[in-house]
Chains A and B, each alone.
Chain A
Amino acid sequence: MEISLKDRIAGCLIGAAYGDALGAPTENRTREQIFEKWGYVQEFLAPPEDVFARGNAAGQVTDDFSMAYVTIQEILKAEGRVNEEVAKQALLEWAKNERFLEQFAGPTSKKFINRLRGIDATEQKGFEPVNDNRRASNGGAMKIGPVACMGKGNTGKTLKIAEIICFPTHGNPIAMSAACAVANAVCSALKGNDLYQILQDALDGAEKGEKIGERGAVVAGPSMKKRLKIAIAMGISSENVSDAMDILRKYFDCSGMAADSVPVSFGLMAAAEGDALQAIEAAANIGNDTDTMATIVGAVLGAYRGKDVFPERVLKRLNEANGYDLEDLAEQMENVTVTVR
């Protein structure tokens, strides 16, 4: 049965938002601690007081999807133009939500945003080590999935979008490898490819992203693309999703570092054989950086399966809790032709 491009884009948006909101309350806890507190989480919950998303309502997204959403809005405002100006504007626009900026922005993003605002970082100790290896984080990968839909399945354009949007804050080989793996996977899904091809294209994106990142900052750290391969292999060879969750978290840290959480995300997709809801839930329950893994899984598999895989009540709650109209947004995205310059 053919799924229209619009329905794939909508699926990507809904999936990404769903994953983010589902994982928001479980973030940081271990798999066991999550289970002890809530059982296996399969419904929206209001985040407790001791997580980053404290104060959110059930179904509310965090920085992961809100950054993607704002970025898409800025591109639409610019009539499809994707350039450095639009990328910066998106960050500034996002930062207008003071609570989100305070609660969610990581130190790198915050510093960058403050610089854009003309607020110089006060505590400059004067010493900067040769590398800041913590920059190899998943902040690019976390937001790029939905934005990549604007490439509408054109690989070159999609990777260019990923580069322009992510490079300012995540311009290093590891972070860009992760971002481009996600972007290319979404791109592949929009083309109607099967899961195997999507995973291949993720690997291909990882390779290309690494090269793009090499034009940026040097970092020390493991190889995102090699670990991606291992995680996918682990996912494929697992007996079931639950086993995959356990084996993946034994070998990978499900943390905010790109070479950890992004391979795990794809490992879960492989283990679930592309079942969007199963994989998103697995990511939300595996522990640690759950919302980011779940948003990545949701973006890719949402594009793969199309919007109808998500129950009506999920879309309704997401729209309500966040003031969105995701189907309408998908339509707008479909009607715009992006120019990357």
Chain B
Amino acid sequence: MNYDKILGCLLGAAAGDAMGAATETRNREQIEEYFGGYVKKFFTPPEDTFAHGCEKGQITDDFSIAYLNCCEIVKNGGVATEDVAKKALLKWYDVPQFSRFAGPTTKAAIHTMMGQQKKETTFTPAVDNGKGTNGAAMKASPLALFSGGNVDQAIEDTLIMCRVTHNNNVALSGACAVAAATAAALKKESKLEDIIKAGVYGAVKGDEAGRRDGKEICGPSIAKRIQKAVEIGMTSRGMKEAICGIEDYIGSGLMAAEAVPAVFGIIAASGGSALEGIFGAVNIGDDTDTVATMVGGILGAWEGAKAFPEEYLTIIHEHNPIDLKKLAGQIWELAEREGKNV
């Protein structure tokens, strides 16, 4: 792990979120039609997307939550705890430009934390399969920055930080897949297949932990679907064909069992290029900002910040109340102290 990789992860995740915010909800054909082709830059989100009213380059809930999580972990000396997670979440919820985006699972969890359980006008069955969403995976990649590339540490930290909102085996499986992949990506000697293998490993571990300590809900095997998506990604001729196949067979929507495998399929098709990966995610359709933030975090950690055009950092800093270089520096320092930077 080194400073460039740390910054790369943060910048990739931020850029993926912001770029995907403009294409979110549309399907692949609609994106092509609306934006006049394959999207490869930041656009102002249209009026009919969740991010309407945002400027181009503005992040949504995906990266803002991840950023605040990292800031709070740093404040706690690099140690992730449940209290840190709750603190970060409540701080995040206090920022209207971020919390307006709160997804269904996150919002419900925050209300419970604040003691404001919504009066249950709708009946919730004993097993709430609607909670297997991608809201944990979406914030998981930067959590791996405190692991120094240790996959098991990244998984452990992710479980701690994500349980407060997504304490079920499906959501946690997705989150741990992303964190594990990012941890692997931070290691200098990792190859692309190591990242993918780590993702499958993380998916299995996250599922196990969720069943053991959280709620067991219905959902496909994220590990198996990652493998299927990777197969599609590897056998497609180029990213544009890959995203068609991934969308057709896997999907790229709100459920973790769609979005997370889609991430890995895109990674497989990207040849390791963070930009190609982010573009693929931005154009695949459906929950594009979430898929792109995950791809950006993982491949940004692998390629490093040098993979991105200089203007990306400027754009992100100009349009968002965050300082990625400062955060990256703080994380790097913590890692230096613990000898995690090699």
Query: Which of B26, B129, B249, B255 is A220 in contact with, Cβ under 8 Å?
Result: B26
Among residues of B, the one whose C-beta sits closest to the C-beta of A247 is B224
Query: Which of A131, A226, A249 is B26 in contact with, Cβ under 8 Å?
Result: A131
Given the known inter-chain contacts A130-B25, A251-B228, A253-B257, please indicate yes or no for A33 contacting B46, CB distance below 8 A.
Answer: no
- Whether B251 contacts A288 by the Cβ 8 Å rule is no
Q: Does A100 contact B (CB under 8 A)?
A: no
- Whether A220 contacts B216 by the Cβ 8 Å rule is no
Q: Does A60 contact B (CB under 8 A)?
A: no
Query: Which of A28, A51, A218, A249 is B27 in contact with, Cβ under 8 Å?
Result: A218
Among residues of A, the one whose C-beta sits closest to the C-beta of B225 is A251
Among residues of A, the one whose C-beta sits closest to the C-beta of B244 is A223
Which A16-53 residues have a C-beta within 8 angstroms of B? 27-30, 32-33, 48, 50-52
Among residues of A, the one whose C-beta sits closest to the C-beta of B288 is A220
Minimum Cβ distance to chain B for residue A171 (Å) = 16
Q: Does A287 contact B (CB under 8 A)?
A: yes
Among residues of B, the one whose C-beta sits closest to the C-beta of A224 is B248
**Cβ–Cβ < 8 Å partners of B255 in chain A:** 253, 255
- Whether A251 contacts B49 by the Cβ 8 Å rule is no
**Cβ–Cβ < 8 Å partners of B250 in chain A:** 222
- Whether A129 contacts B248 by the Cβ 8 Å rule is no
Chain A: interface residue total (CB-CB under 8 A)? 36
Query: Which of B48, B125, B129, B286 is A221 in contact with, Cβ under 8 Å?
Result: B286
- Whether B249 contacts A28 by the Cβ 8 Å rule is no
- Whether B25 contacts A220 by the Cβ 8 Å rule is yes
Query: Which of A28, A223, A252 is B125 in contact with, Cβ under 8 Å?
Result: A28
**Cβ–Cβ < 8 Å partners of A252 in chain B:** 220
Given the known inter-chain contacts A129-B25, A221-B253, A250-B220, please indicate yes or no for A255 contacting B48, CB distance below 8 A.
Answer: no
Q: Does B76 contact A (CB under 8 A)?
A: no
- Whether A51 contacts B125 by the Cβ 8 Å rule is yes
- Per-residue CB contact flags for chain A residues 210-239 toward chain B (1 = under 8 Å, else 0) read 000000001111110011001000000000
- Whether B48 contacts A129 by the Cβ 8 Å rule is yes
Which B172-226 residues have a C-beta within 8 angstroms of A? 216-221, 224-225
Instruction: Report 13 cross-chain contacts, Cβ distance below 8 Å, ordered by A residue.
Output: A28-B127, A30-B127, A33-B216, A51-B125, A129-B25, A130-B25, A131-B26, A220-B27, A220-B30, A221-B286, A223-B249, A253-B218, A259-B251
Residues of chain A whose beta carbon lies under 8 Å from any beta carbon of chain B: 27-30, 32-33, 48, 50-52, 103, 127-131, 133, 218-223, 226-227, 230, 249-255, 259, 287-288
